[in-house]
Amino acid sequence: MSEPTVPPSTRNRPVDALRTAGLTLLLVLAVAGCTSADDRDRATGAGSTAVAVTGPLCDVLPAGTDPGNPASLVAEPVDVALQWIPVLTTFESALRASGLAPELRGKTGLTILAPTDDAFLAKFNEDTLDALFIERQDDLRALLKAHLVDGSHSLSDLLDAGTVTTLDGATVEVTASGAMARVADQADTLCTDYRAGNARIHIINKVLGKLPTDADGRGHRG
C-alpha cells in the first residue's frame, strides 16, 4: 500500500510554526530590550552631555550613572528635576502645595536658589510648616518667590552680576565665598549649576525671604 500523499500546504506546518514562534520571540525580546534601555538611559542620563555641578554637597548627591544624576535631569521640566534631588524634598513639596509648580514649567528661563530640607528645619518648626502648606499658601508662595529669579543663570553669571532680583521683588546680593557664592549675606551655595529643561538650580543652606524664624523644637510631632 502506498503512503498517503501529504498536501504541500500542510507538509511544513510544524517547522513553519516553530520558525514563526522563534521570530516572534526574538521580536518581543528586541522590543523589551529597547524599552528597558530607553528607560535606563532616561533615569541615568546615559548618552547625555556631562553636566558639571560644583560644591561640597555634590559629593553625597546622585552622580555617575545613579538615577537622578545631573546629566539625567537636563531635559526634565524643573519641577520634575527637583524631585530627583534628595535634599530638596521640602522645597519641592512646597512648590506643589503652593500651586507654583505648573507655573514654573511655563517659564522660558528660571534660576532657583533652593534651600535644603535641613535649612527649612532650621527656619521653621513643624507647626509653622504645616500651616504654610495647608492654611497660609499666600505666605508660602511669597516665600518661594524669594528663591526664584527670572532667567537661567549659572553660578558665574550670578557672581558677575553681583545682584539679582527675585520674583518677590527683592534685590539680593551675590558675592564670592571661596569657590562658592554667598547669597543675601546669609546663605551659602552648597551644590550649584544643576540644569533642567528651562532652569538652573543652585542648592543653598538657608531659607531666604521675610518670614521670621521660629524653629524651636516644639513641633506637634515631637
Greatest C-alpha distance within the chain: 106
**CA 46, 47, 48, 50 torsion-angle sign:** positive
pTM of the model: 0.78
Residue 48 φ then ψ, to 5°: -85, 160
65, HSE (Cβ side, Cα atoms, 13 Å): 5
Q: Does residue 56 register a pLDDT over 60?
A: yes
Q: Are 156 and 54 in contact (CB under 8 A)?
A: no
Q: Are 114 and 91 in contact (CB under 8 A)?
A: yes
Residue 71 φ then ψ, to 5°: -65, -30
DSSP annotation of 99 reads T
User: Which pLDDT score is estimated for 49?
Assistant: 61
Give the lowest-confidence range in 47-56, 96-105, 108-117, 177-186: 47-56
Amino acid found at 2: S
User: Which pLDDT score is estimated for 106?
Assistant: 86
Q: Choose between 54 and 48: higher pLDDT.
A: 54
Give the lowest-confidence range in 86-95, 200-209, 210-219: 210-219
